[in-house]
Structure formats: C-alpha cells, structure tokens
Amino acid sequence: MRTVLVNEVTKRIREMCIEANHFLAPDMDRAMKDAVQSERSDLGKRILCQLQENLKIAREDMIPVCQDTGMAVIFAEIGQEVHFEGGNLEDAIQEGVRQGYTDGYLRKSVVKDPLIRENTKDNTPAVIYYEIVPGDEVKLTVAPKGFGSENMSRVFMLKPADGIEGVKDAVLTAVKDAGPNACPPMVVGVGIGGTFEKCALLAKKALTRPVNIRSRIPYVKELEEELYEKLNRLGIGPGGLGGSTTVLAVNINTYPTHIAGLPVAVNICCHVNRHAERVI
Amino acid sequence: MNKYITAPITKENREALRAGDYVYLSGTIYTARDAAHKRMQESLERGETLPFDVNDNIIYYMGPSPAREGRPIGSAGPTTASRMDKYTPRLLDMGLAGMIGKGKRSDQVLHSIAANGAVYFAAVGGAGALLSKSIVSSEVVAYEDLGTEAIRRLEVKDFPVIVVIDSEGNNLYETAVKPIAD
C-alpha cells in the first residue's frame, strides 16, 4: 500500500485548473500553428492568426484563453494499491477546483440546479470520473469543458445494420449542425459502443488524447483519418466563416457493445481543447 | 473590406454595412447574455423600462472572466447567440442596433434584423484574451447579483468583429461556407 495525502490532490487540481485555462497543451499548440499554414481561405487565415495572438496574450498576460473557463471535468485513475489519508478524496478534488477557479481569476460558470439556476460562485461541483487501475499511482486529468461546443454534442443510438457508414453519417451530421456555434476549428471526440452513457464517456475521454496520436486499432485509425478529411471538406472553416480548417482532429474510442445496439456519441470541443495531467 | 465605426450605431451607418465587412468598433456597447435577457424580458412584461436605452445600441453576448488587479476586464469573448434568439426580435423592434456574438441565428431573428435595419456581428469565438485588449473600461450597470451575467457598459477601442447578417438579410454563414471538392 502507498499512502497519498488528499491535500496533495487538492494542490494538483488547483494548479491544473489554472494551467489548462491559460496554456494549451503542446499537441494543441502545434495543431493550431500548423493550421495557419494549411488554411486556404484568407479570412480563415486571418482568424487563425488572431487565435495565435490570443494564445500568446493568454500565456504572457495570464488572461484565460477563453472567457468560458468551463465546467471542470476530472478523470481520476486510482491505483488499487493507493490508500488516501487526510480526508475525503471527493472533497479534496472539489476543493482544488474551488481554489483554482477562485485564485486563478477563472469564470464561475456552474449553477446549483439545472432549472433553478443559481450560480455556486466557485465553479464547483466538478464532474468527476473515477477509475480503479492496477498499481500504486494516482493519475489526475483536468479537462475544463466550455459549453458552446458541449451544447452541440450528440448521442445517436444506431442499429447494428447501420454499420460504419452510419457512424460516419452521425459524425458528419453532428459537425455540420455544430457549424459556427462550436467555435471551429473543432476537435471531435467520438465514442462507439458500450451503452447509452458509456459511449458518451468514451467520447469525452477521447478529447483528452493528444490530437497528434491516432488510435492503436487499425480500422479505427483509418476511420479517424477518413473523417478528418471528410469533415475538413465541409468548408465550415475557422469561426464558421468558410475555409479548409474545420476540425483539428477526430479522436475515436471504442468499447464492446450489445448484439442489438450501436451507440455513437460525438462530443465536440472547440479549438480551446484544454487538458492537463499529473501523476502522484 | 475593413471599416472603422463608432457605437452607438445609427440606422444610416448600419445600413452601410455589408455581410463580410471586417469592422473595428469603438465607443460604447453593453453586455447581456442568458440570465440578463430573461430579466429584461420579464421587466418588459411588467411594463417597466430596461436598465439601458437599447435605441441604436449594441448588445455583446458575453460574460467575462474576473479581472485581475489593474485591468478593466478578464477574458471577454463572445458566447453562442442562438440562445438569445427568443428575446432578440422584441429588442430589435425597440430600436436595438444589433448584436455581437457567435454562431447561427434563427430565421425569425434574421427577418427582424432586416426589417429593422439592424446588424449581427460575429467576434471570433475562443479569442477572449485577445478581445479583452480592445476593452478600455467595464462597468456593471444592472443585475450585479448575476455575477458574470450582469449587464455591463463597455468602452471599446478598435474591437474586431465581422458583419455576418447585414440590414438586407445577407448571411455570411450561408454564403461563405462552400464544400471543398476532393
């Protein structure tokens, strides 16, 4: 057994909330730079250059990349040999979010109840997913999620007979409908298989995979590449004002499913695809 | 085409704008997003006046992140406009000059923009740090309890926006997006 103090978790979560909102991860930073070179539309290029300038100002002046600093989504992979001390893990994570959003001048975008809609004023609670894994480490991922793109995400309960063509149509439909609302260029997280909620979680987690890394499953890698090409031929472009850069990547995760089903989730993220990671 | 204009924007000036124009906006604009629109609508239903005179003014759909010490505002980019579609035609009928946001508008809003000689601008979504540099000052004028969703009066200088829907109802989101051949 290895002991981990929960205040270490609080500290890491706090710093990742601030980091993710001011600095894009290296994979996203690279993809945004490359897009400036490859974009064919003049207005598209102008917008991508503005976004480069935006990233520079964000990191140099410590102004969040986007004012929607998101609802904090946290993945906690906990080694089964770990023993936590010093308090409740859930409370420690929420405290990290509270401190990060308050001390980091991040926007408080969470309401206590979906219909009564009173702001909690500290951006808690976060949405937390726990996974028990082998080993004695704790891996924490913070992925603040903006809602311009979240609102354009979809779940499709396809029939097995719809097959791979059905999956392609679903992704194309979701991205086409998202258009300018989702702040393109987008990153598209896709979950295929599992159950209704499992495919949504697969899609969410797919967004935390670096955009330059393709699936290890050969047919999934091909599907990612084919959809990347197809989506960029839609012509939506930067800001939805036309151009050849509509998506920066398509990341797909799969899971076994039921003989009767083919669930597909498309979780759309804007170009401010934020993720930070720490291992304790 | 690059244009430099000042807000409030008179009807004559906004009718000269065309979808696709790249505009640097200076002057005074107001922020309002979901919760503020809901309250304004409720005020109107009760027969009350709005917290600011909408005539010839521009509403920016934006809720900023908190300002650091010595700065007028935090990150300040546009939010998705379609969530305000339900409230917009009534404000346009009252003389609102236009809106700054991002994303598609309903047909009803498009028709109302054309009928009232108004304008819908897009600012670049996800460029909140850059856009904050064009905001000179910010002051809460109503609904302070709404936090980031309060109504703010902003003084802006060369704030970069693109005309998406012009007073003739031309819509850049429809005309600029063309499928790219294989």
Cα A5 versus chain centre, distance: 28
Q: Which one of B79, B130, B160 has the shortest CB-CB distance to A148?
A: B79
Asked if A70 reaches chain B (Cβ–Cβ under 8 Å), the answer is no
- Closest-CA distance of chain B to residue A41, Å: 10
Q: Are the C-beta atoms of A235 and A246 separated by less than 8 Å?
A: yes
**Beta-carbon separation of B182 and A108 below 8 A:** no
Reported ipTM exceeds the 0.90 cut: yes
DSSP B55: B
Q: Global pTM?
A: 0.95
Residue B171, both tokens: 């819509």
pLDDT in tens, A13-56: 999 999 999 999 999 999 999 999 999 999 999 999 999 999 99
DSSP per-residue letters across B6-60: EES--HHHHHT--TT-EEEEEEEEEE--HHHHHHHHHHHHTTPPPSS--BT-EEE
Alpha helices in A111-180, H assignment, sequence order = 147-150, 163-178
B111 has catalytic annotation: no
Asked if A230 reaches chain B (Cβ–Cβ under 8 Å), the answer is no
Asked if A246 reaches chain B (Cβ–Cβ under 8 Å), the answer is no
Q: Which one of A40, A50, A244 has the shortest CB-CB distance to B127?
A: A50
**Beta-carbon separation of A235 and B62 below 8 A:** no
- Give the pLDDT band of residue B5 (cuts 50, 70, 90): very high
Q: Which of residues 105-144 of B touch A (CB under 8 A)?
A: 122, 124-133
- Closest-CA distance of chain A to residue B182, Å: 8
Instruction: Reply yes or no on whether the pLDDT at B1 is more than 90.
Output: no
Q: Which one of A57, A67, A239 has the shortest CB-CB distance to B122?
A: A239
pLDDT in tens, A202-212: 999 999 999 99
Q: Are the C-beta atoms of B177 and B171 separated by less than 8 Å?
A: no
Instruction: Reply yes or no on whether the pLDDT at A95 is more than 90.
Output: yes
Asked if A31 reaches chain B (Cβ–Cβ under 8 Å), the answer is no
Q: Which helix (H) or strand (E) holds A224?
A: helix A218-232
